[in-house]
């Protein structure tokens, strides 16, 4: 049972906007950065968003991150078929004294 909560699935049609939530607490999201990772089946995860809302080089600007209080959100605008993947939020938890991943959200393009 993760201390971060994500919906198990999200979906949209090509071109739509999809948002994935990540809910935590004051010991993790509330006081520390949120990172987002994208993973395709059988491959290693890829960093999608760092420090709440920063896109690493090479990540399309269709992906955006935000944080407010103890929750964060990843938005994918202009959804494409190649965005079908699992998305994980992650944050340092000061009470647990370790990093935690959310359970992951599978995005499906209808």
Partner 1 sequence: QGQLVESGGGVVQPGKSLRLSCAASGFSFSSYAMHWVRQAPGKGLEWVAVISNDGSTKYYADSVKGRFTISRDKSKNTLYVQMNSLRTEDTAVYYCAKGYSGSYYPSNYWGQGTLVTVSS
Structure tokens at 21: 């939530």
The dihedrals phi and psi of 82, each to the nearest 5 degrees, come to -75, 0
Instruction: Check: CB of residue 21 under 8 Å from CB of residue 81.
Output: no
What one-character DSSP code corresponds to residue 13?
-
Using CB under 8 A as the binding rule, the residues of this chain from 27 to 86 that contact partner 1 are: 33, 35, 37, 39, 44-47, 50, 56, 86
Residue 14 or 94 with smaller CB distance to partner 1: 94
* Contact track, partner 1, 88-107, x by CB under 8 A: x-x-x---xxxxxxxxx---
Residues β-bridged to residue 28: none
Under the rule (CB under 8 A), what is the footprint of partner 1? 2, 33, 35, 37, 39, 44-47, 50, 56, 86, 88, 90, 92, 96-104
């Amino acid at each position: 049972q993760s201390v971060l909560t994500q919906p198990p699935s999200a979906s949209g049609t090509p071109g739509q906007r999809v948002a994935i939530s990540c809910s935590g607490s004051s010991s993790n999201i509330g006081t520390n950065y949120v990172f987002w990772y994208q993973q395709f089946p059988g491959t290693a995860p890829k960093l999608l968003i760092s420090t709440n809302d920063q896109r690493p080089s090479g990540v399309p600007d269709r992906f955006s991150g935000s944080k407010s209080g103890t929750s964060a959100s990843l938005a994918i605008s202009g959804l494409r078929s190649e965005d079908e993947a699992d998305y994980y939020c992650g944050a340092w938890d000061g009470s647990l004294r370790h990093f935690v991943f959310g359970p992951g959200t599978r995005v499906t393009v209808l």
